[in-house]
Each structure stands twice: as C-alpha cells, then as structure tokens.
Amino acid sequence: MQRQILKNKNKITVVNAILIVVGFLSKWTVGNIEIFTWSLVIASVLGVSPIAIQAYQALRVKVVSIDVLVTIAVIGAFLIRNFEESAIVTFLFLFGAYLEQRTLNKTRSAIKELTEMAPENALKLMEDGEFLEVEVDEVDVGDILLVKTGAKIPVDGTVLTGEGSINEASITGESIPVAKEKGSKVYAGTILDNGTIQIVADRVGEDTTFGKIIELVEEAQDSKSEAERFIDRFSKYYTPAVLVLAFIVWLISRNIELAITILVLGCPGALVIGVPVSHVAGIGNGARHGVLLKGSEVISDFSRLDTMVFDKTGTLTVGNPSVAEKEYYGDKIEEALGYLASIERESDHPLAKAVLEDISEITISVVEDTEVIKGEGIIASVNGHRVAVGNVALMERENVKIDERAKNDIARFEKNGNSLVLTSVNGELKVLMGVRDQIRPGVKDDLMKLKKLRVKNLIVLSGDNQGTVDLVSSKLGLTEAHGNMLPEDKSAYIKKLIEKGHIVAFVGDGVNDSPSLALANIGIAMGSGTDVAIETSDVVLMNSDFSRLPHALGLTKATARNMRQNIIIAVGVVMILLASLIFSDWMNMSIGMLVHEGSILAVILNGMRLLRYKLRQ
Amino acid sequence: MKSATIQLETLACPSCLQKIEGALKSLEGIEKDTAKVSFNTSKVKLNFDEEKLSIEDIENAISKLGYEVIKYKVK
C-alpha cells in the first residue's frame, strides 16, 4: 500500500490537480458548493497521503523533515475546514517536488554523461577458445579480450595482437586518434576507431584510469564544504525549531490558521538544496571541459586564489628545443647544410635533434674522422671537406673568421636566449643557428586572462639556470622567477608564501614535486590522466592543456558566486515570507507554498547556469 | 564483511539522505560508520556482514521507504 502510493506519486499529483480544477470550475460556473467542497476534500486526502507516508518514515528514523511540517499544516487546514488551502498546498508541494527532480537531473547531467562513457560489455576469450560477450564486471586481470572497430576498450590493458587507432579523448581530452600495435597500452573507456585488436587485461573496473577519474568526480560532487556542513547542521535544528515556533504561536494566539501558515513558510527547501546544486553543476561543467575539481573545499579555495606558482619553465615552454633563428653566410649553403645534417645525424646531443628537425630533407654524405671536442662541438671530414659544428669557441680553435655581420647576429641570438650552433666548411663560416625552447603557443594570453581574474602573483620556480628562467619570465610578464631550485627549495618557497597569507596554487606535472603539490592551498596537476597526478592534486587538467587553467579559475569563481546567490535567495525568501506574514494580511498557506516552491526552482535554475559557463574572452 | 555500492533512483531532497541513512543504520549487521548515502550521485555505499543479512534485505529496507534500487554491486 505505502509503496504503491509512493510509486504513483506523479499520477496522484495529476488527479489532485484535476480535482482542484473541477472543484473551482463548479463553484465559479454553476455555483455548486457541494461539488466544490467534496472534490477539494478528496484532493486533500489523496494529495497528503504520499507526503504523510514520507513524514512518517522520516519520524521513524528521528528526522523532522519538510514532509512532517507540510503534513501537519495540511491536517491543520483540514481540521479548520479550509479545504481550499489543504488541497492547493498538497498540489503545489507534490508538483514542486516533481519539477525539482526533473531540474536536478539536468544539473547532474554533465557528470552522468561522463559515467555513461564507462564500458559495459567485453568480448572475453573463454576456455573453449571462443570469444563470448560478458559484462565488464566479469573480466579479471589476465583475461584476453577482443575489441572490434567502434567498440569501447573495456579495461586497461596491453595489445597482444592486431593494430588499430584509438580515440583517447575520455582519458586525455585529446581527440586525435592514437595508433596502437602489439605491446601498446590501451585504456578503459577509450574507443577503437578502426582496426581489431586483442588485449590482455592489466587493470579492471575501479582500478583503471577511467574508473579512478569517475570515482574522483563522483566523490567530488558529494564532498561537503565547511559552509555546506554548517547548513546541514543548521537544517537539522531548523525544521524542529519551526515546528516548535508554530506550536508556541498556536498556544499563545489560539489561531490555527496562523500556526499552520508558519509551518509552510518556514520550510527550508531552497537553503538545503541551493549549495549542492551550484556545486554539482560547477563540477559538472569542469568535467566536461577537462578540469577535474576535487570537491567543494577546492572550489572555495581556488576561487580566492591570489598567487600561482609554476613548477618549471617546461610548463610554460614547449619543452622541446627547436631552431628559432638562423643566418647563412657566403655560397654553397645547400652543401653546407647537407654536411651539417650528416654530422648531427650521428650525434645524440639535444641540440643536434633540433638542428636535424629543422633541416629534415637533404642529401646525406659519408662522415669520416669524427673528432668530438668536449664542450665545443664536433670536427669531421665530409666529402673531403673539413667541417666543424659547434659553438664560438670551436670556431676560434679552427681559426674561422667571423666578420662584423656574423658578430652582430651572434650577439642578437644570444640576447634572445638561444644556444648557438655554428657550422664552418674548410675554415669558412657558413651557417649560424639559434636553438631555444619556445614558449607554448597561447600561454601568454592565458596568463593575461589569469591576471584579469585577479591573480596578483605569477611565479615560476625552476631547476634551470637563472638566465633561461629570467628570459621566459620577461617574455611572459611573470612577477617573479627563480632558477636553480631543487624540489625542496620549491616547497620551502611555497611554505613561505602561505605564511605570508597568500592563497597559493602550485601548477605541476606532479612527478617530482608532489610535496609542493600537497603543500600549496591548491595543487593543480597538468597530467594526462596519470595516477600520481590524479591522486596527489586538488585539481587535474586532463589534457596537460594550459588553456584550461583560466577556465578552471573562472569556473570556480562563478561557482562560488553562484552558491552565495543561492544562499541569499533562500534566506531572503524565508525572511520576506515571514515579514509579510507579520506586516501584511494577504499572506496565506497557498501563497507561501507557491513562493517557497518557486524559490527552490529559482536556486536550481540559477545553479544550472553554471553548466553553460564559459570564460569571457 | 562485504562492501556494497547501491545505485538508487535520483534523490531530490537532502532529507531523503537522513531517512535512508537512518533506516540502514537500524539494520542489524551493517557497519554503521561505513553507511554513506550521497545526494548527487544517488548512491549508497556500505559494508555489511553477509552472515547477518543479505543484500536483498538491504534493498528491501530502502525500497520500503519508497526509493527504487536500480542496481547494486557487492564485493
């Protein structure tokens, strides 16, 4: 019986509404008071039944819920034969609850989309040698699975046979397919775009990278901030307090109408739901944009951030030195470049790699009599020519004449922070190349956006030498730059910043700077979904994508603002309702319930705006 | 001791949590500190003693309150 009533709550709401309409129509059109009264009586009894059952269940576990307040109010209205109000209040309450559930589902949609990306089935190799479709829960570590084109990889594993390309967007946020062959690692939740592969399961279920991401986001949305815990405690005493207040008012005034109106007006609905709603929508927006926020405490700290520290120059630079500038001298340059490439091809020096990438297609000649001069470069014989590749010191050793123009070029390249690679053929300078690590594209704009979001201090702490660090810093307009720092120097520096009262975020890949990540108020991991990054940080930027950083900061600010708005709406509505009860004569139970349900929808809709949040350009 | 994760229909009111938690904690064989109902994911997580009660008993206690159990996982 109880269960039936609760299951058919929506149908009850509809019948309840029809009865109310019929009642009022018969009163207004034909003036039949009898039909009016009876249909409202039936509507009241029908409408209050699911609410009363919920109230009873709550009381059994010693909780004074909103249902309890509403049930008493409706019974009170019924007793003083105000059937109009008892019927309308039950309808508004039921219909409000229905709308709440519908809209709440929307605010949670972003996270649901993520969890629905989890694989459900797998083709598992059975003992008889056939592949059989099983639920993903039935896959154990070591099982062999078949994945066909278009299917989801069910577990984290290693490719045994076959090849294909996989879209790893669910893990890395990067949608360009990655080629996989025998021995490659594949991840649960990613999609095999083409090809067919057999894999062996290395990690299954919640242990997979995707499983961990889901768990993290799910835990994040239900973790509670200090403010939320306060509201929880508050509402625990608040609802019984409203009940007591209504009772006292009744004792003093003997006015049942007034007492039950207080019960309805005092409902704390918008207050208890306002903060979780903002929170889940904010975290959901982040999850959609590759920003994993670990809980609401993180949101509140992150939104008040004033100092951002970067773990190394490599976070701001491409981390892959390349030829940034070059100059040629004299003739037969093509030949000289060929010799240069031939020599560099045999070297494993990082500069050599950059030089080769720059030259790429050229005729390669045989290199003989190679002599490596430590700290200077290489001298060798190519096609009978004496070729030297190295720095200025090597050129001096070779008595290569460096004219005025070349001298100016060298000075300019050095000033721009390049490492120099000079090439001479038979004692004549031919090529000058400047190699340097380049600023990541877009980083400068992103830093500007962060400044606009009121991050006052942008600091880089790096193990590189001070010169390199200063150069990056001046190019990007950072406020401070410190080189030659060991991991412990970095964490000591962060400690000092926090002691000075700054709210500090530390941005790093979390590989060797986990103490700093943990120590900072906010640890931001720029990982491509690696375990370490996921576990030690407060915020994970999925795709190591720097441009998500301003979005993350803007989002947490918007979420924190949204929570405050919702608290103001909720508290404001209750205060206005109570005030108008005292100072006006138009307030009654039905209007109170209407405004009240309206305020609940208002906070949910307000929270929903966060789902569409985008950083303004 | 086994641990269960139970997926419920969407929870709409925060007081539902208190109700479900209260009901679960009154069951014999549930490790009280582990019983946690989360609002946004609409999930229940708890540890229970499979000798004292079964997952069906837990499912029953929840659905008696009017909340539908969509699926559960026991480990």
Between A220 and A525, residue with greater pLDDT:
A525
Q: Is B19 on the interface with A (CB under 8 A)?
A: yes
Q: What is the pLDDT of residue A256?
A: 87
Interface test with A, best of B8, B37, B41 (most A CBs within 10 A): B41
CATH 3.40.50.1000 fits A291-317+441-553, yes or no: yes
Fold classified for A140-203: 2.70.150
Alpha carbons B74 and B6: distance in angstroms, whole number: 9
Q: What are phi and psi of A527, to 5 degrees?
A: -105, 160
| Set of chain B residues whose Cβ sits within 8 Å of the Cβ of A50 | 66
Q: A322-436, which class in CATH?
A: alpha beta
The answer, yes or no, to whether residue A612 has pLDDT greater than 60, is yes
| A3 contacts on B by Cβ (under 8 Å) | 63-64, 66
pLDDT tens profile A326-360: 999 988 888 888 899 888 888 777 678 888 888 87
Q: Please report, for residues A146, A160, A165, A187, A320, the alpha-carbon distance to residue A178 in angstroms, rounded to integers and kept in the order given.
A: 18, 17, 5, 12, 20
Q: How far is B31 from chain A (nearest CA, A)?
A: 17
Do B23 and A3 lie within an 8 Å CB cutoff? Answer: no
Please tell me which of the candidates B18, B41, B63 has its beta carbon nearest to residue A3.
B63
Lowest mean pLDDT among A69-83, A293-307, A355-369, A395-409: A355-369
Q: Where in chain A is the domain with CATH 2.70.150.10?
A: 140-203
**Catalytic one of A311, A358, A446, A513:** A311
- Whether the CB of B39 is below 8 Å from some CB of chain A: the reply is yes
DSSP code for A510: S
The pLDDT of residue A309 is above 90: yes
Q: Which residues contact A477 (CB under 8 A, 6 or more apart)?
A: A444, A447, A458
Average predicted confidence (pLDDT) for chain B: 84
- Which of B8, B11, B15, B27 best probes binding to A when mutated, by most A CB atoms within 10 angstroms? B15
User: Residue B74: phi, psi to the nearest 5?
Assistant: -120, 135
> pLDDT of A386-426, one tens digit each?
999 988 889 998 899 888 999 999 888 877 777 788 999 99
Between CA B71 and CA B67 the distance in angstroms is 12
DSSP labels for A21-61? HHHHHIIIII--HHHHHHHHHHHHHHHHHHHHHHHHHHHHT
Q: Where in chain A is the domain with CATH 3.40.1110.10?
A: 322-436
Mean pLDDT of A184-189: 88
Q: For residue range A132-181, what is the model confidence (pLDDT) as tens digits?
A: 999 888 889 999 999 998 889 999 999 999 989 988 777 765 667 888 98
In the A/B pair of chains, how many CB contacts fall below 8 A?
Answer: 75
Mind listing the domains of chain B with CATH numbers?
2-74 (3.30.70.100)
Tell me the pLDDT tens digit for each residue of A261-275. 888 888 777 877 888
Q: Which residues of B touch A6 (CB under 8 A)?
A: 66
> In whole angstroms, what is the distance from residue A502 CA to residue A480 CA?
15
Say whether A97 and B63 touch across the interface (CB within 8 A). no
Q: What is the pLDDT of residue A617?
A: 60
Mean pLDDT of chain A: 85
Query: Residue A279 is encoded by which pair of tokens?
Result: 């929170």
Give the whole-angstrom CA distance, residue A310 versus residue A460: 5
Active site residue A311: yes
Q: Which residue has the higher pLDDT, A427 or A513?
A: A427
Question: How does residue A62 score in pLDDT terms, banded at 50, 70 and 90?
Answer: confident
Chain A contact for B60, CB < 8 A? no
Nearest to B26 among A6, A61, A279 (CB): A61
Spatial distance between the Cα atoms of A401 and A368, rounded to a whole number of angstroms: 24
The share of chain A scoring above pLDDT 70, in percent, equals 95
- Residue A335 to residues A340, A344, A409, A529, B59, Cα–Cα distance (Å): 9, 14, 22, 46, 80
Delimit the CATH 3.40.50.1000 region(s) of chain A: 291-317+441-553
Residue of B nearest to A102 (CA): B12
Q: What is the pLDDT of residues A87-124, one digit of tens each?
A: 998 998 899 888 888 888 887 877 777 777 788 889 99
Higher pLDDT, A231 or A211: A211
* A276 with B64: Cβ contact below 8 A: no
Distance of residue A319 Cα from the nearest chain B Cα, in angstroms: 40
Asked if the model's pLDDT at residue B29 lies above 80, the reply is yes
Q: Which of B18, B26, B43 lies closest to A63 in CB terms?
A: B18
- Chain A residues in contact with B73 by the CB 8 A cut-off are 137
Partner-chain residue, chosen from A3, A65, A276, that has the shortest CB–CB distance to B39: A276
Q: How far apart are CA A137 and CA A122, in angstroms?
A: 9
